């Protein structure tokens, strides 16, 4: 990883994704998680304060050492055991059917091969295991979509490869998930092109 992605970008993402107005969304997506959980795109641990007490273990997946160090304060304040278990969500070093649930928040936009990551999550989840997701991607409105396609090359350069045109539900279903809960909306306080959001739950068939 380059200096910008490993040293600068984690701080930018911690600030941008750690605002108070996003706490409610994190609380929603983490609700009902239980058992052993794998979280891809763990980052600086912004979801940690929202893990419910029903979670017994979290295996964190993230490539950035800086982000993991930034998570230390949040980790010291939670009763949920969390370990950094892997660095690449596209190749998970775990056996099939290991986890009860998975968590992904604002992660599928940046992973180079989102489909590969979702196939891996599907593999390591137990049958019927649930993926809780909160992602931004292709907007529901054509006008916003047109702007997303124009701005995406610049957006990717500034935000570490972050795509704004990925179709989240389509990616999930193509990887074998069945979306059982879904809320599509625009985030508050930021341009629509970057806040077209999908929050929900998808079950591994």
The length of the chain, given as a count of residues: 205
Q: Summarize pLDDT for 100-158 with one digit per residue, the tens.
A: 999 999 999 999 999 999 999 999 999 999 999 999 999 999 999 999 999 999 999 98
Instruction: List the structure tokens of 139.
Output: 């907007």
pTM above 0.85, yes or no: yes
- pLDDT of res. 24: 92
Across 172-201, average pLDDT: 96
Q: What structural domains and CATH numbers belong to the chain?
A: 3-204 (3.40.50.150)
- Beta-sheet pairing, 55-61 with 35-40: parallel
pLDDT confidence band for 12 (50 / 70 / 90): low
Q: Summarize pLDDT for 53-107 with one digit per residue, the tens.
A: 999 999 999 998 989 999 999 999 999 999 999 999 999 999 999 999 999 999 9
Of 145, 129, 160, 157, the residue nearest 194 (C-alpha): 145
């Amino acid at each position: 990883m380059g200096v910008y992605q490993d040293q600068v970008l984690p701080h930018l993402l911690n600030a941008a994704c750690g605002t108070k107005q996003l706490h409610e969304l994190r609380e929603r997506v983490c609700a009902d998680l239980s058992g052993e959980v794998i979280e891809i795109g763990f980052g600086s641990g912004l979801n940690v304060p929202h893990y419910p007490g029903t979670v017994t273990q979290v295996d964190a997946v993230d490539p950035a050492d800086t982000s993991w160090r930034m998570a230390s304060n949040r980790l010291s304040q939670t009763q949920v055991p969390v370990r950094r278990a892997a660095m690449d969500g596209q190749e998970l070093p775990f056996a099939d059917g290991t986890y009860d649930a998975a968590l992904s928040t604002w992660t599928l936009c940046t992973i180079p091969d989102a489909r590969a990551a979702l196939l891996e999550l599907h593999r390591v989840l137990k049958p019927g295991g649930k993926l809780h997701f909160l992602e931004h991607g292709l907007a529901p409105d054509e006008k916003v979509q047109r702007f997303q396609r124009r701005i995406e090359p610049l957006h990717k350069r500034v935000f570490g490869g972050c795509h704004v045109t990925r179709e989240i539900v389509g990616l999930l279903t193509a990887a074998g998930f069945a979306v059982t809960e879904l809320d599509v909306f625009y985030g508050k306080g930021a341009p629509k092109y970057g806040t077209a959001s999908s929050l929900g739950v998808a079950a591994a068939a």
